[in-house]
Chain A
């Protein structure tokens, strides 16, 4: 059973991936050539859901700008993510990526929330991100922010290990025409086109189109991995500014195809085969946002979007179509001299239809999932310009586990103009996705009579995976040409995903051994990231970062024999070091 069990975990982990597993404030400059004190004043929105300076953020935050991305030579979004300190972004093949911070790194990292201009691209079906279809034109990106650690108190469920926030430039900032042609080995070619400009006195708009093709990756022993990839995408963004009101309307549409080679179980002898087939994707989204400033301490924002995505992998799960509609409202105001209140409400409807195939099916094949959320936070100025406390929580109700509470408490101490110290305690949850709740996966079929089938089965009695995180950080600018940022954490995870063997069932002449998804694993991680920016001269910048991770995992004491923890510390590197020099 041990061997079956292991392959089952392997399949479960790989399945989720094989299956493929805001209000913009501009960072126009190249971060590596900014003065150090300018760097500390760069505006970020990810940690607090409204603009604040990088130097005064009470969370572990990494940031890269458009100019950084251009100078790196990255061709697409996941390649650009490699630049973020404290993030493990590893390429699996031509189109697949494993992206996570603070551990739980695997091809479908299910504890990282990813947003593109406020639109969630985390898959509610497979609990992870299909990186192959997240192709934002890099020249239109203003910045990419990464919160390392939980951001759940404002962003909600699945913002457990981190939040990646991709923010594009407003159309007013990115005018004119641009055409870029990129070519490389492995049959790589990419065309990027964009045109934009002013519309009237208060508006601006741009349109873009991109097309890319890449050959398959190599197998380690040579030979073609068969995972070539072609994608075409187009989109637009229009912005209108009328005094204190800002309006944005934007959208994208894409179509793509790729090759894949899969070793899949089959219902009849020899019960397994190597399948080479195409996967097909198409989709689109439309987003509108209105924000209004009442005063420097008071504003509100209203956002709505619709997203449609289809993915067909015929021999695995058939055709999967997902429609998402999301509404989000937030309001910020000052209360007295000391309190700064931010609160909001949200609603999301996710409607899917998955045809299913022999190895992977969903029961029911179609489902509507509702998410109702609210959040509130109070930033209290305890000592003016010196000490701030931030208390807040997300409250949400989802179709799988009901009500979830995700509070956080953050402390920010600014002992001098060049030094910041922060600490935080927070709770975050990963709520079940369809793959946790409704999956029926044939992991392996054994030919020896009687024929035995090992299956993974979802459960509708799951609870959310829960994290309690303790973090602290220190930022200092000891010299006009040097800045340092250190953040450390201890994460305690409970109710993580596990697989427990159930009683075998006879189906016709086949014995089915089910492994049922449960919440019986736990894990602990600790570690940190230290980064430094040095500016030896006005044209030369060096950035270095080091990340350490220690991760351990296990099962609860009272689990049934044969239970497997679906947590793999061995897939995470203990040390990551990067040095980046640009001039």
Chain B
């Protein structure tokens, strides 16, 4: 029981928020993706998604690259090695907590 409580306390707060968890999980499974894909998969509006991405970027979990696909602006996102490690650790802790 003690170990379970410790595991819950050890959960990464940045990833623990459901919106950011969705983003981190989707990014973990791929090399990189764009803003539109995350919006499509998570069903979040642009503002909410942007604020979650900024939070993940501040924690150095996500790398954001602004570019163009033809004439259309595109925001590419990738989980950094730190972000990958944090997500793996989060999964491990969550497993222990459950």
Please determine whether chains A and B interact with each other in the same assembly: no
